[in-house]
Amino acid sequence: MNEFVETLLELTWHEPKSSYDVVIIGGGGHGLATAYYLATQHGITNVAVLEADYIGSGNSGRNTTIIRANYGIPESIRFYQHSLDLYSTLEQETGCWIMHATKGLLWLAHTESAMRNERARAMLNTACGAETVLVDPTEIKALVPQLDLSGGGRYPVLGASYHIPASTARHDRVVWAYAQGAMQRGVHVLQNTPVTGLIRDGDRVVGVRTATGDISAGVVMSAVGGNVSQIAAHAGVRLPVRTHPLQAFVTNGYAQGFGPIISDTELLCYISQTARGQMLIGHEYDRETSYSLQSSFQFLQANAIKMSYLLPFVRDLKILRQWTGRCDVSADFSPIMGFTDVDGFVITTGWGTWGFKAIPAGGEAMAELIATGRTPELIEPFALSRFAADHAMADQGSTGTR
Amino acid sequence: MHAPERLDGLRVVATPDALDHAWFEGDVVVFRIAHDEVIAFGAVVAEVPDEHAIVERETAFVGWGLSYPEFDDLVARHVEWPLPTERPALAQGMAAGLPVKLWFEHDRVLLVVSSGFAHEVVERFRLPAFAESVKKQDTRRMRA
Amino acid sequence: MLIITCPNCGSRPVEEFRFGGEIPQPPESITDPFERDLDQVWMFTNVAGVQTERWFHDAGCHRWLTATRDTSIDRFVD
């Protein structure tokens, strides 16, 4: 957390103790939300969240803040819809303004086969409780008058699935809201404390090693984004995860009130307007795995031109900033939550490009799992053991926007 | 400048050694696209000393014959990798975002693409889509 | 710009290639045949360092090649 924000929040920072009931590695949204729900729902406050840098400095501060539940398999729709519901009441619950705004989300289709996909998506979403309808070009034009329905003469818009409750929130504020809520209840958040290894006793993980000393723990949870394979390797756990860079950029301001979030599964790009009025444009993650946070000109070039086919006005905007985050993409494009083969070591990972929207539900479920020692029904399908059981939750088609 | 011509021929997959000694009837241009694969444009009959060789008709490509000034003016600036200096030579890669094969002869360059990309070539390199004679015929037909 | 040297076609920008991922290598410590198969199919070492990986020259010769790359800085190494 940066110094300016720290002065605004009522927080008490602590020196690390030598032992906690629960140690959470990774001070991003998932780690802090887990600590928050451990404290609020289960009364477990002897908890430390260890963050290598400042909280929210990883992918929680690099994502494009889209909250949606229009997934392609029932288990995922149910999970993400619950997360979306928790987000919509998070401001009342935490008392923190997270700048939550319901905007709706259009998934554009340019071909008949894409239309079939979106029609199927709308029906499945509706059946599973995530409000999604199919809209025709006239309705799309009414929602987004700026859209060129001919797609620059190349990508004509035939229709879209319109996910009505999709929303955005300010990502840092989500992180700070959970951090503040957890810390006020006694959770220790330790910034600038990278974990260098795990302490093992036989087959169990019993603590973590840091540069400033060992910390023992009843349960160690990895909520790491980006270096999760390395953390898991310390426990001897192999993961079906590859780390890819994901890039995004924002332009200068455009007239406030730009309609819904627009995503294009064929062009693999999406756009939304931030609270400041900037147009935020993102893309599919980079093809090759990498831990580098370097941004590329090729990305800017490719996505600027694609977006200008759909929304000609972006030609007149200037690119202000671009950045890169690291996505832990699981082998079946669904998250991995729950126990591992190693006692005392639980994990939440595989969040690819879809982690931000899952912060409340993921945190709540992992807190329940740690507190009760049982896997909540909501996240049972997402256990790491599903790969050995041949129950992969394949849903790549729903990762088209973040 | 010439309109695109359809390039028919044979695609042969065989051992590298057999391809070194392969013989094609007629006036052919042979692209060695990989160590174990050639496309012989203009070929109808092939003799390949490899009993397991796969020989198939290849009709997917179109090509533009360009003079060197035309190539330099329209195509070379879209190529972001070093071009071969020997002649004849084959170069394969991306130009203006399209997968192209370039065949460098002494007096001309043959720009070859899969025909599915032909319209993109026309647009991106500003190459002619039709022969002049076809254009004239079309104009006459429209007037009539 | 990342450059890959294709044995057939020469040096080309990375955009011409399709990424084929790390070459699966179940660790020696896994001895059970089922566990080795499971690891081979699903798991990744996902190293933050030098990785041996496959690339497909999509815009050129349509052949696979093996390259080594330092994933921590996204640069090819010899």
The verdict on a CB contact (< 8 Å) between C61 and B91 is no
Per DSSP, the three-state class of B95 is strand
Contact assessment for residue A282 and residue A257, using Cβ atoms and an 8 Å cutoff: no
Residues 57-116 of B with CB under 8 A from C: 80-82, 91-94, 99
What are the domain boundaries of chain A? 3-63+171-241+331-399, 102-165+248-325
The verdict on a CB contact (< 8 Å) between C42 and A294 is no
Helix (H) or strand (E) holding A283: strand A278-283
The verdict on a CB contact (< 8 Å) between B92 and C63 is no
Neighbouring chains of B at 3+ CB pairs under 8 Å are: C
A159, two tokens: 């229709």
Query: Would the CA dihedral through A104, A105, A110, A114 be positive or negative?
Result: negative
B63-77 in b/e form (b: 16+ CB < 10 A) is: bbbbeeebbeebbee
- Best of C8, C17, C65 to substitute, by most chain B Cβ atoms within 10 angstroms, is C8
List CB contacts (< 8 A) between C73 and chain A: 292
One digit per residue, the tens of pLDDT, for chain A of length 402 reads 667 777 777 788 999 999 999 999 999 999 999 999 999 999 999 999 999 999 999 999 999 999 999 999 999 999 999 999 999 999 999 999 999 999 999 999 999 999 999 999 999 999 999 999 999 999 999 999 999 999 999 899 999 999 999 999 999 999 999 999 999 999 999 999 999 999 999 999 999 999 999 999 999 999 999 999 999 999 999 999 999 999 999 999 999 999 899 999 889 999 999 999 999 999 989 999 999 999 999 899 999 999 999 999 999 999 999 999 999 999 999 999 999 999 999 999 999 999 999 999 999 999 999 999 999 999 999 999 999 999 999 888 777 644
The pLDDT value recorded for residue A397 is 79
Q: What percent of chain B clears pLDDT 70, i.e. is strictly above it?
A: 89
The verdict on a CB contact (< 8 Å) between C11 and B34 is no
Bridge-based pairing state of the strands A204-210 and B46-47: unpaired
In sequence order, what are the residues at sequence separation of 6 or more whose Cβ sits closer than 8 angstroms to the Cβ of residue A247?
Answer: A282, A283, A286, A295, A296, A299, A322, A323, A324
d(CA B50, CA A270): 52
- Best of B35, B81, B90, B112 to substitute, by most chain C Cβ atoms within 10 angstroms, is B81
Helix (H) or strand (E) holding A19: strand A19-25
Per DSSP, the three-state class of B93 is strand
d(CA C24, CA B105): 44
ipTM computed for the complex: 0.95
The pLDDT value recorded for residue A400 is 60
The verdict on a CB contact (< 8 Å) between B94 and C15 is yes
Minimum-distance CB partner of A291 among C22, C45, C72: C72
* Nearest-neighbour CA in chain B from C71: distance (Å): 24
The pLDDT value recorded for residue A89 is 96
List CB contacts (< 8 A) between B94 and chain C: 12-13, 15-16, 59
* Nearest-neighbour CA in chain C from A164: distance (Å): 35
Domains and CATH numbers, chain C: 3-77 (3.30.2270.10)
d(CA A370, CA A335): 18
Specify the CATH superfamily of domain A3-63+171-241+331-399. FAD/NAD(P)-binding domain (3.50.50.60)
Specify the CATH superfamily of domain A102-165+248-325. D-Amino Acid Oxidase, subunit A, domain 2 (3.30.9.10)
Of the candidates A386, B131, B67, which has an alpha carbon nearest to the alpha carbon of residue C41? A386
Q: What is the pLDDT of residues A42-87, one digit of tens each?
A: 999 999 999 999 999 999 999 999 999 999 999 999 999 999 999 9
User: Which residues of chain C form beta strands (DSSP E)?
Assistant: 3-6, 10-13, 17-22, 50-57, 64-70, 75-77
Count: domains in chain B: 1
The verdict on a CB contact (< 8 Å) between C59 and B94 is yes
**Nearest residue in chain B measured CA to CA from C14:** B94
Residues 5-64 of C with CB under 8 A from B: 8-13, 15-16, 58-63
The verdict on a CB contact (< 8 Å) between C74 and A238 is no
The pLDDT value recorded for residue A88 is 96
* Nearest-neighbour CA in chain C from B125: distance (Å): 17
Angle at A274 between CA A147 and CA A149, to 5 degrees: 5
The verdict on a CB contact (< 8 Å) between B93 and C9 is yes
Mean pLDDT of C50-78: 95
- Best of C12, C14, C58, C64 to substitute, by most chain B Cβ atoms within 10 angstroms, is C12
The pLDDT value recorded for residue C2 is 86
pLDDT, block means (10 residues), chain B with 144 residues = 85 96 92 95 94 96 94 93 94 95 96 94 86 53 47
> Does a cis peptide bond (omega within 30 degrees of 0) precede residue B88?
yes
Mean pLDDT of C44-69: 96
* Nearest-neighbour CA in chain C from A44: distance (Å): 34
Q: What percent of chain A clears pLDDT 70, i.e. is strictly above it?
A: 99
Distance of CA A314 to the CA centre of its chain: 26
The pLDDT value recorded for residue A282 is 94
